[in-house]
Amino acid sequence: MGYQLDFGALVQYLGLFLEGAAVTLGLTALASVAGIALGIAGAAAARSKNDWVRRLITGYVELIRNTPFIVQMFFIFFGLPSLGLRLSALMAAALAMIINLAAYAIEIIRAGLDAVPPGQAEAGRAMGLHGLGVFGLIVLPQALATVYPALVGQITITMLESAVVSQIAVVDLTHVADLIQSRNFRSFETYLVVTVIYLILALLLRRLLALAGRSLFAGRTP
Amino acid sequence: MNDFTLWDIARNLLLAGRWTLLLSAIAFAGGGILALVLLVLRFGFGKWVQRTIALYVELFQSTPLLMQLFLVYFGLPRLGIDVSAWLAAAVCLTFYSSAFLTDIWRGAVESIPRGQWDGSSSLGLHYLAQLRLVILPQAMRIAIPPTVGFLVQLVKSTALASIVGYHELTRTAQIVTNATFQPFLVYGMVALIYFAICYPLTDLSRRLERRLATNAR
């Protein structure tokens, strides 16, 4: 007798699935807001005239982009306590996601800033704006509008990669799947359903952010 | 209390790095072959083949690699197919890389001007000869920098194989940590080893890209 697939057995766990998805989305939202804010600051600082600031930022970006997310998270969660910094699993996961996304955001936004023609900043200064005003009101909005699709892509990747936080016992969508399949022994159905939930979340997230971008940057893209 | 010297830890980690490299190499080779087949199908047949391949790529790019791994490693045995951690990791990463490589290479082929297809077909070349002699040699130049860039992503992705218990670099780090109680040192070292593998590839990819940009001018 072959194995009978039974998805009906999963219906009773609907609440758990929703809770897990909420944690995954919450972490992603936090990482996106904080990561992109740091990304803007880092990309701006990367244009500094100070050699050391530039080197520091390049070093940070390269270190994060060339090591796996899971190792970064393990380092923060297991390694930092020996320096006296003990974080809860949720905080360690959030911090790892922010640090990771920030590095990619710096790289993306830096490219966007480079793509804004210098004439824009010159025109801003000619209109009497100060350095910060030129950056915040003229250069940055155009840069963000150009690289917005790349940022959306990176946010989606962050959401999908966050499945790994289940490994330090953060109760995200993946961890919920682990719990459920250890109760009902229906690992194939459980993981399949959760994979489909991730797929739907990724597609929705991309669609929503694209819509948000269209109203946010209306008329700003060249 | 501490019977492990720094060298003991470093040696164990470096030796485990071999399995990370091997897994990356297998997934890259297998994924590359599969991607090449999909590429030939993609440009040689009608809309439905195109759509199916686009869906295949989308499925792998829009779901977590960890879930793909769990489905194969924990899910398939339920259906009566037993897989080892090693096989599950190799198969998953192969499919995963095939999806990304198909996407990268499709973009490269599409960037070749239409006239190259028309010209080569007017010379009497059939589809496979067109691809092999005219399109792919040109597309390859464009495709190499992002392909090397993807290799970095692939090496980093092999770390997930540790979760199903495959003894590569990250899994070994967990074991060494449990024995030495020095997570800061061990994970720091592991990060450096990954960096030593990935950074040269990142750098190479960037150089190739720059050279391509200057040549195009």
Structure tokens at B169: 């670099």
Separation between Cα atoms, residue A109 and residue A103, nearest integer Å:
10
Q: Give A66-88 pLDDT, tens digit per residue.
A: 999 999 999 999 999 988 899 99
pLDDT in tens, B145-156: 999 999 999 999
From the list B61, B163, B166, B165, the residue with the least C-alpha distance to B104 is: B61
Using an 8 Å CB-CB cutoff, list chain A residues near B202: 62, 65-66
> Which segments of A46-139 does DSSP mark as H helices, in order?
51-65, 69-74, 89-115, 118-126, 131-133
Q: What is the pLDDT of residue B31?
A: 97
Per DSSP, chain B holds a count of helices (H) and strands (E) of 9, 0
Return the closest-CA partner of residue A205 out of A133, A141, A156: A156
Cβ B62–A160 below 8 Å, yes or no?
Answer: yes
Chain B residues in contact with A75 by the CB 8 A cut-off are: 183-184, 187-188, 191
Burial class of residue B96, CB neighbours in 10 A (0-12, 13-18, 19+)? buried
With CA atoms as reference, the chain A residue closest to B199 would be A66
CB contact under 8 A, A202 and B62: yes
Q: How high is the pLDDT of residue B217? A: 55
Amino acid at A187: S
Task: Write the residue in A174, A186, A192 that is nearest to B66 by C-beta.
Answer: A174
Residue A172 in contact with residue A165, Cβ under 8 Å? yes
Q: What ipTM, to 2 d.p.? A: 0.90
Sketch out chain A's domains with CATH numbers: 8-216 (1.10.3720.10)
Single-letter residue type at A147? V
Q: What's residue B216's pLDDT?
A: 65
How large is the greatest C-alpha to C-alpha distance in chain B, in angstroms? Answer: 78
Closest CA to B168 of B159, B176, B181: B159
For the residues of A194-220, what is the DSSP string, one character each?
HHHHHHHHHHHHHHHHHHHHHHHTTTT
Q: How far is A125 from chain B (nearest CA, A)?
A: 32
Q: Rounded to whole angstroms, how far apart are CA atoms A140 and A41? A: 11
Give contacts of B75 with chain A, Cβ < 8 Å: 187-188, 191-192
Q: Is the pLDDT of residue B114 over 50?
A: yes
Closest residue in B to A5 (Cα–Cα): B79
> How far does B101 lie from chain A, in Å, by closest CA?
17
Q: Would you give the DSSP letter of residue A135?
A: I
Q: What is the total residue count of chain A?
A: 222
Q: What is the pLDDT of residues B166-203, one digit of tens each?
A: 989 999 999 999 999 899 999 999 999 999 999 999 99
Closest CA in chain B for residue A81? B184
Place of tokens 């991730």: A198
Residues of A near B (Cβ–Cβ under 8 Å) read 2-3, 62-63, 65-72, 74-75, 78-83, 156, 160-161, 163-164, 166-167, 174, 177, 181, 185-188, 191-192, 194-195, 198-199, 202-203
pLDDT over threshold 50, residue A196: yes
Element (H, E) at B193: helix B183-216
Quick check: B108 and B140 in contact, CB under 8 A?
yes
A4-62 tens-digit pLDDT: 777 877 888 889 999 999 999 999 999 999 999 999 999 999 988 899 999 999 999 99
Domains of chain B: 6-216 (1.10.3720.10)
On chain A, the residues whose CB falls within 8 A of the CB of B173 are 71, 74
The owner of tokens 């540790």 is B162
pLDDT-above-90 percentage for chain A: 79
